[in-house]
Chains A and B, each alone.
Chain A
């Protein structure tokens, strides 16, 4: 079963990287969103899969009787989802604000910090 998910993870990464390589901020943002899912699925799959049994201890017992899904990757991913969402929201607003000030979402035209005609450093002492 893991094989299918592994292939899916590969596709997620490929698509996300393809989007990240774009010049346009908005497509880069889409890439960031997909990248989050790609990483989460990678962790999820690496922790092995168990169908349909959540890691919950039945009432009245100290430990689960039957094998359950691996709880550790789930805990990690839960944290990761929330963080990648806040990261995504911040980037979104950043992109929005830069569009308002620079009137473009083409990263090639955003040369404010690294101007194209930057003078060469001095040669003297």
Chain B
């Protein structure tokens, strides 16, 4: 850590923007977006300043000490990986803020929406730049919470609420796994900072806790990045307004899991389990995601399922196990953020201007929305993996990395080809169906959207082209440093858009041919998929409902059992646990008191003990309640006599007074009630209650005997005895303690008595007033 740094202010500035945006929107309306977008733009510009030094392989760390005793710091770490991510988040964030300004123009909660978006932006930048493990976890959870708020933004709709809750449960659950994971990382390496953990070499891989750390990190990453079988929350999250889908659920947040895997690759990767689990789940997610995408007709849902698929591809590449694959993952990650962000914004534009997102109801929008069409076309070409776009470069790199001769690679390659071909189908459908063909009647009369809204998709789609054309610069400044950080070694990326005749190109051609073939039969393919899914009938989404319903049933059951409304049961539980706890403690730690020595008491002492016991017995066995009350007086007076026998006259007087009063008022109240005379407990219950009382009571006895057998420490008593006269000028030491040394306690005691008295008056007066109130009615 190098102390406070202006960059930290930039990294935290979105939180400030979140505070400002409701106020600004109230003053300026939708135009506040122009002003607010300056904040992410400022972050982007500031971070660009780090690009040259990071490209040279330097990493910057900075931060402030937070809770040093816990090893928690607010520290940041900028290397190739985190810088590229942070640039994507702030850059796309700028465009999204503008887009959101136009999209929700006039919405009553526009300011709140922008505030949520900024909160998310700050959290997400934190996730990718955090150096401290705990800070990483906190930011990670903040993205889950802000995602919850944004998905549930339209909280009047049940579907929104369900989707929001689902996303929170799935990603929040994964977050808990991650917390456990970072604790394991910390315990194994002894480090708190990621930058240090990453330099720990093989410590983690050789640790017996490697598998534990691996699965916990996977649990966090797979839920966040919607890997099968946790993919279902992401399409449901499309309930959110489109700016959220474009930003959180395609370009940034869902990539947090991929970020985590990439980040951990140098220390957790390069093992058999890593190179098996990641490609298997990633490829499964890729294929399942694209198959489910084919089935959809809603533009946003089609895109959402391809996002799931793309995340699968990224996970698979990260775990494939060679540097080339990592390089390909980096290309694809950047390409995907650009084209998918653009396409989501396009989908939102179409929805906003034409009033529907159903591709069956859309057509011929090209002349009404030329700019949108241009952006959609450019982004789709990149998504389809056609030259000269960055998507093409990414795909070439992917095939170059995974097309190997062994059976494992062949299988992965085959599935990847299928996934990529289907991805091309969706890209074509999204770009062609709404824009080309005959113009269709849409719910709204379509025309080009406002500049706030088309700016984002146009810029992102163009960047997909530009970054490929200046491939040399892209490689040098972004891809090589990022791939180097992921691989943990220097990487020199040199992909270009120029054709290289070879296996990758051949596979690309196969992919394109397959994709075009499927596209021609898209309606049939959709119908077939729908039929298959109908046949299966159950999915993790239904499973989630069953899980929640089961959870509610279970907690109802437990609540009904524990909080059953019977005071008797509560009391039994309390005292049983109390007794068992004392006994268990004594047995477990061998603290049983030794058998005590009995000395003969004087006859009056013995007599008074006997009297107390008789009083107690009479309370229990009394045949009517009045006898019980009088017997209560007997044991109370016996206690008072015990006090006076052992040198406590003050206690004795008070006890006499209090016992007398208790018996008198108890008798007064009881005679006013018409009550059953005796205890009705049936024998079994009586036996059980006696057992509980004996366990707890004997526990107290043993505890007291154990206490009496340790040496007595008279320090406090000696202090009061020594200073009672000298300092407080009183001869009755007990009184001096009460009114002087512990005077404040006594004031508290008086307050308690007063409050109890007020309570009693209130209780009685409530009753007195009721008949009058009823009479008035």
Interface residues of A (CB under 8 A from B): 1-15, 17-24, 26-30, 33-34, 37-38, 40-42, 44-59, 61-64, 68-72, 74-75, 77-79, 81-83, 85-90, 92-97, 99-100, 105, 107-108, 110-111, 113-116, 120-121, 123-125
Of B654, B669, B724, the contact of A96 (CB 8 Å cutoff): B669
Across-interface contacts of A50 in B (CB, < 8 A)? 646-647
Of B613, B689, B708, B731, the contact of A56 (CB 8 Å cutoff): B731
Asked if B696 and A4 make an inter-chain contact with CB atoms under 8 angstroms apart, the answer reads no
Across-interface contacts of B707 in A (CB, < 8 A)? 46
Interface 9-residue window, one of B98-106, B313-321, B470-478, B750-758: B750-758
Main secondary structure of the interface of A (DSSP, over half): helix
A113 to chain B, nearest CB (A): 8
Given contacts A14-B694, A79-B746, A82-B654, are A63 and B704 in contact (CB under 8 A)? no
Taking CB atoms and an 8 Å cut-off, the chain B residues in 729-770 that contact chain A are 731-734, 737-738, 742, 745-746, 749, 752-753, 756-757, 759-760, 763-764, 766-767
A3 to chain B, nearest CB (A): 4
Query: In chain B, what residue has the closest Cβ to A49?
Result: B646
Asked if B692 and A17 make an inter-chain contact with CB atoms under 8 angstroms apart, the answer reads yes
Interface 9-residue window, one of B19-27, B69-77, B484-492, B659-667: B659-667
29 contacts between A and B (CB under 8 A): A3-B705, A6-B701, A8-B612, A17-B692, A17-B693, A18-B693, A20-B571, A20-B575, A21-B575, A33-B662, A34-B616, A34-B632, A42-B700, A44-B646, A55-B734, A57-B733, A63-B721, A70-B717, A71-B724, A72-B737, A82-B654, A85-B661, A89-B665, A90-B760, A92-B669, A93-B764, A121-B552, A121-B556, A125-B161
Asked if B738 and A78 make an inter-chain contact with CB atoms under 8 angstroms apart, the answer reads yes
Across-interface contacts of B597 in A (CB, < 8 A)? 3
Expressed in whole angstroms, the Cα–Cα distance for A87 and B676 within the complex equals 25
Taking CB atoms and an 8 Å cut-off, the chain B residues in 665-713 that contact chain A are 665-666, 669-670, 672-673, 675-676, 679-681, 689-690, 692-694, 696-698, 700-701, 704-705, 707-708, 712
Expressed in whole angstroms, the Cα–Cα distance for A39 and B158 within the complex equals 55
Given contacts A44-B646, A57-B724, A78-B734, are A6 and B673 in contact (CB under 8 A)? no
Across-interface contacts of B537 in A (CB, < 8 A)? none
Asked if B721 and A68 make an inter-chain contact with CB atoms under 8 angstroms apart, the answer reads yes
* 10 residue pairs, one from A and one from B, having the closest CB atoms: A14-B697, A10-B701, A69-B647, A114-B565, A86-B756, A75-B737, A18-B693, A125-B162, A71-B733, A17-B693
Asked if B549 and A123 make an inter-chain contact with CB atoms under 8 angstroms apart, the answer reads yes
Asked if A70 and B732 make an inter-chain contact with CB atoms under 8 angstroms apart, the answer reads no
Of B645, B705, B749, the contact of A79 (CB 8 Å cutoff): B749
Across-interface contacts of B722 in A (CB, < 8 A)? 63
Asked if B616 and A12 make an inter-chain contact with CB atoms under 8 angstroms apart, the answer reads yes
B599 part of interface (Cβ distance < 8 Å): yes
Query: In chain B, what residue has the closest Cβ to A116?
Result: B565
Query: In chain A, what residue has the closest Cβ to B770?
Result: A101
Asked if B639 and A40 make an inter-chain contact with CB atoms under 8 angstroms apart, the answer reads yes
Query: In chain B, what residue has the closest Cβ to A18?
Result: B693
Query: In chain A, what residue has the closest Cβ to B701?
Result: A10
Asked if B646 and A14 make an inter-chain contact with CB atoms under 8 angstroms apart, the answer reads no
Asked if A78 and B642 make an inter-chain contact with CB atoms under 8 angstroms apart, the answer reads no
Expressed in whole angstroms, the Cα–Cα distance for A71 and B737 within the complex equals 8
Asked if A72 and B616 make an inter-chain contact with CB atoms under 8 angstroms apart, the answer reads no
Across-interface contacts of A8 in B (CB, < 8 A)? 609, 612-613
B568 part of interface (Cβ distance < 8 Å): yes
Q: A9-B701, A38-B700, A54-B734 are in contact. List 15 more A-B contacts (CB 8 A).
A: A6-B701, A46-B704, A46-B707, A51-B647, A53-B647, A55-B721, A56-B731, A57-B725, A62-B726, A79-B746, A83-B749, A85-B662, A86-B757, A89-B662, A105-B675
Asked if A61 and B696 make an inter-chain contact with CB atoms under 8 angstroms apart, the answer reads no
Given contacts A20-B575, A85-B658, A89-B760, are A54 and B704 in contact (CB under 8 A)? no
A75 to chain B, nearest CB (A): 4
Across-interface contacts of A24 in B (CB, < 8 A)? 675-676, 679-680
Across-interface contacts of B647 in A (CB, < 8 A)? 50-55, 68-69
Contact string, B622-655, partner A, CB cutoff 8 A, digits 1/0? 0001001100100110010011011111110011
Across-interface contacts of A49 in B (CB, < 8 A)? 646
Given contacts A26-B670, A34-B635, A72-B717, are A17 and B575 in contact (CB under 8 A)? yes
Across-interface contacts of B564 in A (CB, < 8 A)? 114
Asked if A124 and B158 make an inter-chain contact with CB atoms under 8 angstroms apart, the answer reads yes
Given contacts A37-B636, A54-B648, A121-B556, are A63 and B725 in contact (CB under 8 A)? yes
Across-interface contacts of B521 in A (CB, < 8 A)? none
Given contacts A52-B647, A82-B658, are A96 and B720 in contact (CB under 8 A)? no
Query: In chain A, what residue has the closest Cβ to B741?
Result: A75
Contact string, B569-609, partner A, CB cutoff 8 A, digits 1/0? 00110010000000000000000000011110100010001
Contact string, B179-191, partner A, CB cutoff 8 A, digits 1/0? 0000000000000
A56 to chain B, nearest CB (A): 5
Across-interface contacts of A56 in B (CB, < 8 A)? 731-733
Asked if A71 and B705 make an inter-chain contact with CB atoms under 8 angstroms apart, the answer reads no
Of B645, B651, B673, B767, the contact of A51 (CB 8 Å cutoff): B645
Of B571, B680, B714, B731, the contact of A57 (CB 8 Å cutoff): B731
Asked if A83 and B753 make an inter-chain contact with CB atoms under 8 angstroms apart, the answer reads yes
B728 to chain A, nearest CB (A): 11
Expressed in whole angstroms, the Cα–Cα distance for A41 and B639 within the complex equals 8
Expressed in whole angstroms, the Cα–Cα distance for A32 and B387 within the complex equals 86
Asked if A88 and B662 make an inter-chain contact with CB atoms under 8 angstroms apart, the answer reads yes
B125 part of interface (Cβ distance < 8 Å): no
Of B676, B746, B767, the contact of A100 (CB 8 Å cutoff): B767
Asked if B696 and A14 make an inter-chain contact with CB atoms under 8 angstroms apart, the answer reads yes
Across-interface contacts of A59 in B (CB, < 8 A)? 731
